[in-house]
Amino acid sequence: MNAKTLGIVAVVTLAALAAAIGLNHTRKPATELRSEPLVPGLKDEVNAITKLSVIGAGNAPLVVLERKDAGWVVANRDGYPADSGKLREFVLKLADATVLEPKTANPDRYPAIGVEDVGAAGAKGVRVEIDGPKTPVRLIVGTFNGAGGGGTFVRRADEAQSFLASGTLTPEKNPTEWLSRDLADVPAAQIAEVTIDKAGKTLRVFKDDAAEENFRIADLPKGREPSSPAAANPLASGLAGLRIDGARPAAAAAAPDSALKARYVAFDGRVVEVTAWQADGKHYAQFAASLDEARADAHAEAAQAQAKPAQQADAAKPEGEPAADAKRAAGDAAAPAADAAPDRAARLTAVRTEVETLQRRFAGWTFELPAHKYASFDKSIDDLLKPADAKPARK
């Protein structure tokens, strides 16, 4: 065998050896592959994560989430607070994902399952980058294997081999969907008064007591009457389950002079003022929270006075009486959170804390609202009354 032949044999042998080494990992038994984590060690380092990015076609940064001192924010949405629960859910999906089976290692076939490099302009998948753990995560997440029984096609960004991994691992690509969208939740039952100023006219509805079934309309025009006894009730729901569709810094989205104003006053003294307007087919609002100290003090005193007789009655019941013993054993733990504090000062502290929390959430932002929530603020007295030419209801 001459030198040339020996050289060819050596090259072929080395190539075969390299191929064998490269295929060794992917030829593991299926049972062994299914127990292999997609991202080894991530589950133990979830709390070490400081940044998560979703990179799309053309290396475009679609979503950038960063951990700050006050919590997680969506960096490419002006640093507005992120939905930390959604973030944790996605990270745990990655941490729990296992390799189901190897797929292609041929770059020419990557596009078929969406695991090509996202530097390509037409890339179908996304690159997920997680920083903070000792070994940063760089993962190409391709298409969901819906037609094949589930799982997601993935490829570790520094490897040629792709895999089918367990779970639905495709991240949300719209940064707005990562925002913390729950803004406020003040149930209508807690509202004492709503005032709306719109186009130079004022509408005010109110209750003197929370036990009243319906809100009354103040300053009814002569000869006019409500369209129904409950006509004003929907106005009190403006702050209930309030979720946003987006947020921008207030300085970059100032309210126009024509914006309507709404003011919500709760029985316990919480006050939320709303400035709302429409622009470019969207609905915007700014909010401010404060405390009516006099109302808060009166409400706390009344609540304390109402609680005392019940507490005294329980204390007077003899030991051994089942109902009394059960209440003593349960203590205040069974009481509603708003009434857990046994004294007036603690009640006031609780409501002040809630107002401060709301104001921190509101301050410095203009919020985009769903149309149905904006409609809660966009009311005039005529919206609540029968037409002017309608016959008065019979008594």
Distance CA 101, CA 170 (A): 18
Calculate what percentage of the chain has a pLDDT beyond 70.
Answer: 81
User: Residue 211's beta-bridge partner residues?
Assistant: none
Q: What is the pLDDT of residues 94-151, one digit of tens each?
A: 999 999 999 999 999 999 999 999 999 999 999 999 999 999 999 999 999 988 789 9
Pick the residue with more confidence: 392 or 5? 392
Distance CA 147, CA 164 (A): 13
Mutual angle of helices 322-330 and 293-316, in 10-degree steps? 140
Q: Mean pLDDT across the stretch 253-261?
A: 97
Distance CA 287, CA 316 (A): 47
Model pLDDT, residue 9: 40
Neighbours of 323 (CB within 10 A): 9
**DSSP letters along 219-231, please?**
SPPTT--BSSTTT
Position 155 pLDDT exceeds 90: yes
Distance CA 247, CA 71 (A): 17
Distance CA 283, CA 285 (A): 7
Q: Mean pLDDT across the stretch 365-379?
A: 97
- Computed over every residue of the chain, the mean pLDDT equals 87
| pLDDT band, residue 15 (cuts 50/70/90) | very low
Mutual angle of helices 344-362 and 293-316, in 10-degree steps? 140
Q: State pTM to two decimals.
A: 0.81
Model pLDDT, residue 315: 55
For residues 283-299, one letter each, b for 16 or more C-beta atoms within 10 angstroms of the residue's C-beta and e for the rest, the string is: bbbbbebebbeebbbeb
Residue 135 tokens read as 């070994």
Q: Mean pLDDT across the stretch 5-33?
A: 44
Model pLDDT, residue 128: 99
Quick one: which of 147, 150, 149 has its CA closest to 168? 150
Distance CA 279, CA 256 (A): 10
Distance CA 342, CA 327 (A): 15
Distance CA 80, CA 363 (A): 11
Q: Mean pLDDT across the stretch 261-270?
A: 98
| pLDDT band, residue 222 (cuts 50/70/90) | very high
Q: What is the pLDDT of residues 299-347, one digit of tens each?
A: 999 988 887 665 555 555 666 555 555 444 434 433 444 444 458 899 9
Position 29 pLDDT exceeds 70: no
Model pLDDT, residue 120: 94
Position 232 pLDDT exceeds 50: yes
Model pLDDT, residue 149: 83
Residue 116 tokens read as 């090509």
Cβ 253 vs Cβ 284: under 8 Å? yes
